[in-house]
Amino acid sequence: MALSRRDFFKTSTILGGTILGVSKKSFAEETEQSIADNWGMLNDSTLCIGCRGCQSACKKEHGLDRVGNDPRYDMPTDLNADNLTLIQLYNKTETEYCFIRRSCLHCNYPSCVSVCPVAAFTKRDDGVVVYDKDKCIGCRYCQVACPFEAPTFEYDEAFPVVHKCDFCKDTRLDKGLKPACASVCPRGAIKFGKRGELLEEARNRIKDNPERYNAHIYGETEIGGTSVMFLAPKNIEFDDLGYHSWGETPPGALQEKIQHGIFKYWIPPVALYGALAILAVSNRKKNNDDNQSEEAGNES
Amino acid sequence: MKVNAAPMNQKIWTPWFTVGVIFIALGAIVTLYRFIFGIGAVTNLSDGVPWGIWIAFDVVTGIALAAGGFTMAALIYIFNRGQYSPLVRPALITALLGYGIAAFSIMLDVGRWWQLYNPLLPRSWQGNSPLFEVSLCVMTYLTVLILEFVPIAAEKYKDSDNAFLKSLANKLGPVVNKALLFLIILGVVISTLHQSSLGSVMLVAVARIHPLWHTAWLPFLFLVSAIAVGFPVVVIESFVSAKAFKRSFEAGILSKLVKVTPWFLAIYGVVRYSDIIISGKAGYLLSGWGLLFIVENLMLIIIPFFMFINQKARTSPNGLLIASVIMVVGLVLNRLNTYLITYSPRPGWDYFPSIGELLVSAMLISLLFVGYKILANNFPVLSKEH
Ligand code: SF4
Ligand code: SF4
């Protein structure tokens, strides 16, 4: 099959986007400036040595359970309700490999926020995408929607909760501290700061070291941009690291546009109601007028 | 619009009824287990595949198949085709049971069910979410359906020996009857909204659903296919109810009813295929997924289209029934494909429904049949035979 699903995604969203006039602006009132001022993270895979210090720090900070029941502790293999971030190894060849980090990317136009039926996910003014369990009904639409597979759910609990990275907002960020992962990384592979500055920094790193870096900054434009961005070593493609080129339109854009269209001042539903009511009443009148003659020439 | 209906008052405990009750009992055990030990304890759901058959089949497919309620109501009350009025009450109780069951399965599937009233709280309103709209619509429509049932109940109790029921029936019945037309229109509007929104739900899952099923036209296609399947569902329902109550299957009136179905199928087919071709997805038709797509389309669109426009096939009871069954199976396949079968899980994950999930679905289907039998047996739903 010549087309891969992912190739398709790119073209179809661009196409869908232009046909329906969807622009990123149809989302919350984000501006270039407000996005630049958001908190963000720059993950530099060329610096990461895979010590997984960030993973452990995250677990400790959030008080999450260890993996399995065995007292001999082991590494998780996927994001789950007890592991909000994960370091994975991508081995291209003996000498070309890198470690890549996974977590919530705190999207500029987050799909989870678009879809959550009860506004349990919101994007704060400082860009942090946060979750409120008191609103959540546990429908898991956020899991279906997030392209980065970040939200996880406690399937084995009777009273389950959704989990994902929150930039340590309660225990650190709102007290003026950097998130735990960024502060423990011994190699400085995780840089925390304002998104605009981090983007600048990422560009400079690539410019100063074109031999070292893949020229692409992942998260700069993907699905409308993300607060957490990535640099990769030269010769390693982001697609192989699980960071796909999803196109620039946020996945939630089309649906937001349609919902806005329908519920703009409730005009379409009210108009439909009115039209049907007029139709019903006039049909009824007609029926009374020419009485029993309804059978003839009936098309339905 | 005179409806001349009567309770069936037949023996309830037939062998099939017993089978249904057994499935309900088994499903109830699983349900209890789910509420004590969590979703993971009885389902194969995971972070990799968060929605299984409880959503794709019980809720999404169930709601599409319950569309007979609003299409019938629109035909009779808005387009004023009084000759079909014997069919409106059975379609109404099918929709009532269908939506009740869908609401119940939402309750089973959501993890934090004790907060399910949240969509009603303004602090949680989230107009951008199609699921928010669906949840409000399902709650409202269920209320409308219950109100539409009030005149039927009033008819039963208006001469009741129980003084309280009698006075309630005589007070409520006429009030609801006066408002009936406007309730019915409300039901139709709400139905068009949430039938299409169930398509919008999957728009965001562009990274997950196969491109043959993922299109900007999803909401439109979901709405049109739900409208189209409405009357064929009424055909099947009439057949099953005729069998259950040992009445004759009224193929004559039903085959007139489905004359309109090919129109909707044609619109659906033209939009769906034009979209595939215009957006350059035709290449996928040659893959394995393409085969699934074609099988689905044969059953949902092409075979029923030709059978329903063919006078001979349409007017023979067997042809009518077979075409309707094929189309309903096609619709089930379409909803399952869009929500589940073509859904690509997170890398390393997989899904096949567990015994527990299947038992719960069997319970819900049984509830429909058992509930229908009980309602039609006790209330004036089915018209008197002449
Ligand atoms: S990565 Fe996923 S969970 Fe995080 S903000 Fe984006 S859509 Fe939401
Ligand atoms: S699971 Fe909770 S947070 Fe996720 S979409 Fe549903 S209600 Fe929102």
Residues A128-170 have pLDDT tens digits of 999 999 999 999 999 999 999 999 999 999 999 999 999 999 9
Whether B37 and B97 map to the same domain: the answer is: no
Any A CB within 8 A of B125 CB = yes
Which atom belonging to ligand 1 lies closest to the Cα atom of A149? 2
In-domain check, residue B383: no
pLDDT at A294: 43
**Domain ranges across chain A:** 5-23+259-299, 32-249
Residues with CB under 6 A from ligand 1: A 104-107, 110-112, 129, 146, 148, 150-151, 164
pLDDT at A4: 53
Any B CB within 8 A of A144 CB = yes
For the segment A68-105, what is each residue's pLDDT rounded down to a tens digit?
Answer: 777 777 788 899 999 999 999 999 998 899 999 999 99
Residue A177 binned pLDDT confidence (cut-offs 50, 70, 90): very high
Searching chain A, which residue's CA lies closest to the CA of residue B187?
A: A273
Whether B164 and B310 map to the same domain: the answer is: yes
In-domain check, residue B385: no
For the segment B86-131, what is each residue's pLDDT rounded down to a tens digit?
Answer: 899 999 999 999 999 999 999 999 999 999 999 998 888 888 899 9
Ligand 2 centre from B107 Cα, in Å? 14
A residues 70..129 contacting B (CB < 8 A): 77-80, 111, 114-120
Ligand 2 centre from A279 Cα, in Å? 40
pLDDT at residue A205 greater than cutoff 50: yes
Mean local confidence (pLDDT), A112-137: 95
pLDDT at residue A10 greater than cutoff 90: no
Most A CBs within 10 A among B54, B105, B203, hence the mutation to make, goes to B203
Which atom belonging to ligand 1 lies closest to the Cα atom of A223? 6
Whether B75 and B45 map to the same domain: the answer is: no
Mean local confidence (pLDDT), B325-329: 97
Any B CB within 8 A of A141 CB = yes
For chain B, the domain total comes to 2
For chain B, the average pLDDT equals: 93
For the segment B244-282, what is each residue's pLDDT rounded down to a tens digit?
Answer: 999 989 888 999 999 999 999 999 999 999 999 999 999
Residue A260 binned pLDDT confidence (cut-offs 50, 70, 90): confident
Residue with tokens 């064929």: B232
pLDDT at B2: 58
For the segment B27-57, what is each residue's pLDDT rounded down to a tens digit?
Answer: 999 999 999 999 999 999 999 999 999 999 9
In-domain check, residue B126: yes
Residue B183 CB-density burial (10 A; 0-12 exposed, 13-18 middle, 19+ buried): buried
pLDDT at residue A14 greater than cutoff 60: no
d(CA B146, CA B133): 20
Q: Are residues A223 and A248 in contact, defined by beta-carbon separation less than 8 angstroms? A: yes
Whether B35 and B163 map to the same domain: the answer is: no
**What's B282's domain CATH number?**
1.20.1630.10
Residue A293 binned pLDDT confidence (cut-offs 50, 70, 90): very low
Q: Which of A112, A137, A161, A255 to mutate to test the pocket of ligand 2 (most atoms within 8 A of CB)?
A: A137
A residues 217..246 contacting B (CB < 8 A): 242, 244, 246
d(CA A40, CA A193): 5
The reported pTM is 0.91
CB-ligand 2 contact for A113 (6 Å cutoff): no
Whether B261 and B313 map to the same domain: the answer is: yes
Among B39, B118, B216, the residue with its CB nearest the CB of A254 is: B216
Searching chain B, which residue's CA lies closest to the CA of residue A294?
A: B81
C-beta atoms of A160 and B126 within 8 A? no
Residue B290 binned pLDDT confidence (cut-offs 50, 70, 90): very high
d(CA B332, CA B199): 14
Residue B72 binned pLDDT confidence (cut-offs 50, 70, 90): very high
Structure tokens at B240: 């099953």
Residue B148 identity: E
pLDDT at A29: 67
Mean local confidence (pLDDT), A268-293: 79
For the segment A192-204, what is each residue's pLDDT rounded down to a tens digit?
Answer: 999 999 999 999 9
Whether B163 and B105 map to the same domain: the answer is: yes
For the segment B166-195, what is each residue's pLDDT rounded down to a tens digit?
Answer: 888 988 888 888 888 899 999 999 999 999
Range of the domain at B19: 11-49+355-378
pLDDT at A16: 43
What is each CA distance from A236 to A32, A90, A94, A215, in whole angstroms? Answer: 30, 9, 13, 10
Whether B190 and B210 map to the same domain: the answer is: yes
d(CA B319, CA B336): 26
In-domain check, residue B262: yes
Long-range contact set of residues A269-272: C-beta below 8 Å, sequence gap at least 24: A269/B189, A269/B193, A272/B189, A272/B192
pLDDT at A283: 84
Any A CB within 8 A of B44 CB = no
In-domain check, residue B1: no
In-domain check, residue B350: no
List of chain B residues whose C-beta atoms are within 8 Å of the C-beta of residue A138: 110-113, 115
pLDDT at residue A1 greater than cutoff 90: no
Searching chain B, which residue's CA lies closest to the CA of residue A140?
A: B50
In-domain check, residue B201: yes
Whether B79 and B22 map to the same domain: the answer is: no
Whether B43 and B54 map to the same domain: the answer is: no
Closest by CA to A102, choosing from A209, A255, A243, A296, is: A243
C-beta atoms of A140 and B78 within 8 A? no
Most B CBs within 10 A among A140, A161, A241, hence the mutation to make, goes to A140
Could you tell me if the ipTM is greater than 0.90?
Answer: yes
Whether B44 and B75 map to the same domain: the answer is: no
Q: Which helix (H) or strand (E) holds A39?
A: strand A39-44
Mean local confidence (pLDDT), A289-296: 49
**Partners of A131 in beta bridges:** A121
Mean local confidence (pLDDT), A262-279: 84
d(CA A115, CA A207): 38
d(CA A123, CA A108): 9
Identify the CATH number of the domain defined by range A32-249.
3.30.70.20
Of A22-26, A159-163, A209-213, A244-248, the range with the lowest mean pLDDT is A22-26
C-beta atoms of B185 and A277 within 8 A? yes
pLDDT at A28: 57
| DSSP string of A200-211, one letter each residue | HHHHHHHHH-TT
In-domain check, residue B164: yes
For chain A, the average pLDDT equals: 86
Any A CB within 8 A of B33 CB = no
Structure tokens at A118: 């009860």
Whether B44 and B55 map to the same domain: the answer is: no
Whether B227 and B305 map to the same domain: the answer is: yes
Q: Are residues A143 and A113 in contact, defined by beta-carbon separation less than 8 angstroms? A: no
